[in-house]
Amino acid sequence: MSQAGPRVLVTGAGGFVGSHLAEHLLAAGWAVRAFVYDDGAGGIGLLHHLPSEALAALDIVRGDLIDAGTVDRAAAGVDVIVHLAAQSSVPYSIEHPRAVFGANVLATLNLLEATRAHGAGRLVYASTGAVYGTARYLPIDEAHPLHAGSPYAASKIGAEALVSSYHASYGLPTVILRPFNIYGPRQSTQAVIPAIIQQALTADAVHMGAPDPTRDFTHVADVVDAYRRAATVEAAVGGVFNLGTGTDIAMGDLARTIIRLAGRDVPLVTGEADRLRPAGSDAQRVCASADRAREALGWTPQIVLEDGLRRTLDFYAGQLGTA
């Protein structure tokens, strides 16, 4: 596999989006250094899903992003850094705010310092649509007020502020992307769509929390395309961009769609207490405006929700042996 393109460091490369991005950039001819969390067992996370040729082409670095020396060494000699690594669980952040602050804010500071020290051409930061909290108006654009409804959201707002400050203070070329809800193959079954799919394929009923909140879901293939554009398009530098489809769906309707696509006649049970988020920590309605990303990055999501759900169902059916 030939790599004649830019040299990129992808943090969180062993995760859901990171493994897809590493695979996507390798296929485009980029030289990819994949930073994965050192779990003490030499694991590479979800990168094991990559074809053997792609996996062999990766420069894999194991470590912890809160260690500044490790980050500095990983950032040496790259043209672009795409920072995806994060602790992203809202319930975990409520129980362990200090750990989430370290993983999401201190790690970002270390990467910004390393980007500045080594002269990398750009740092692309993966934020989240969760920084907006419950919508004051719809669709949510980048001018919408930020609201820290959980320690997780607060940590992402804080990391965004650091990224923006390094662009303003040092002229560091940075881009902030705010993807809304991402889904697709390889996502943890603790996430809502895989959790529903797993039940729809194997259980006697699908159990979920509140059916009324809405979310704007974007397929992971569209999201990684946006990251590639953010890393290369000159007009992106200094910008903040939402990533979403502009269409939201109620969680109950999402579950019913998945059950239908799975082809199984199982009931939907909603409102289960152990599946509800803590009061005040979750937005009730989410729908993104991605007009700015379309104009500056030339990005428009290509995969409609039902097609994306079919692809995701096929993946998990294969994993569960129900295909």
Q: Per-residue confidence at 79, pLDDT binned at 50, 70, 90?
A: very high
What percentage of residues in the chain have a pLDDT greater than 70? Answer: 95
3-state SS assignment for residue 167:
helix
Residue 282: predicted pLDDT: 62
Residue 281: predicted pLDDT: 46
Displacement of CA 163 from its chain's centroid (Å): 17
109-114 mean pLDDT? 98
Question: CA 287 → CA 63, 122, 126, 244, 293, distances in Å?
Answer: 36, 29, 18, 7, 15
pLDDT in tens, 46-61: 999 999 999 999 999 9
Residue 273: predicted pLDDT: 61
pLDDT in tens, 232-257: 999 999 999 999 999 999 999 999 99
26-31 mean pLDDT? 98
Nearest residue to 210 (alpha-carbon basis) of 159, 168, 253, 167: 253
Write down the pTM of the prediction: 0.95
The answer to whether residue 201 scores a pLDDT higher than 80 is: yes
166 tagged catalytic: no
76-100 mean pLDDT? 96
pLDDT in tens, 261-290: 999 999 999 986 665 555 544 678 899 999
| Dist. CA 76–CA 271, nearest whole Å | 50
Check residue 321 and give left, alpha or beta (phi > 0: left; psi -120 to 50: alpha): left
Nearest residue to 177 (alpha-carbon basis) of 132, 116, 128: 128
80-95 mean pLDDT? 96
The answer to whether 85 and 11 are in contact (CB under 8 A) is yes
Residue 276: predicted pLDDT: 55
Contacting residues for 14 by C-beta, under 8 A, at least 6 apart = 34, 36, 37, 43, 44, 45, 46, 47
Nearest residue to 110 (alpha-carbon basis) of 61, 166, 45, 65: 65
What the chain holds in terms of domains, given with CATH numbers, is: 7-187+218-247+286-302 (3.40.50.720)
DSSP assigned state of 106: I
Residue with tokens 């949510």: 140
pLDDT in tens, 183-196: 999 999 999 999 99
The catalytically annotated residue of 37, 125, 132, 152 is: 152
Residue with tokens 């903040």: 240
